[in-house]
Structure 1
């Protein structure tokens, strides 16, 4: 069974014409969204603020979980010590 292989277009061919240059000569992508950039700025600032709040909340949650793990492990360690002492004191029952 023979397959016809079609040449793949190059990367640059896929994106030809999608960039323009600024007066300083820097390339930037062109899209309909770029025209609305000034309107997007407040939304992006709000999104950034919300992401920072989420990050802060996650850091607080991680700290609380760490503290909880320490408390639970300390209680478990104490219980294990008490059980070991009881076993040493009562070998016939252990």
Structure 2
């Protein structure tokens, strides 16, 4: 999926959003962490999956809140805009509800 330039750009923007929130929480992270993570995805096998996708395919509850919801909540607490989280979190929550 990260072979697509648009997905890489989206992932990079989301990781930068996460970095801002993490720093507000006190994390000492370098500016290039988002790029390093994306580079790792680019080196990964094309069929690499995620735990959220595996859970969804197996009908298990998704772990979106602890991974993604927390970024949105902490961003709000610090007054940091989280426009990507504001889209991603409801989509993951809806997917967690199962087929509708």
TM over 0.5: no
Greater fraction strand = 1
Q: Give the TM-score normalised by the residue count of structure 2.
A: 0.23
Q: Larger Rg: 1 or 2? A: 1
Q: Give the TM-score normalised by the residue count of structure 1.
A: 0.25
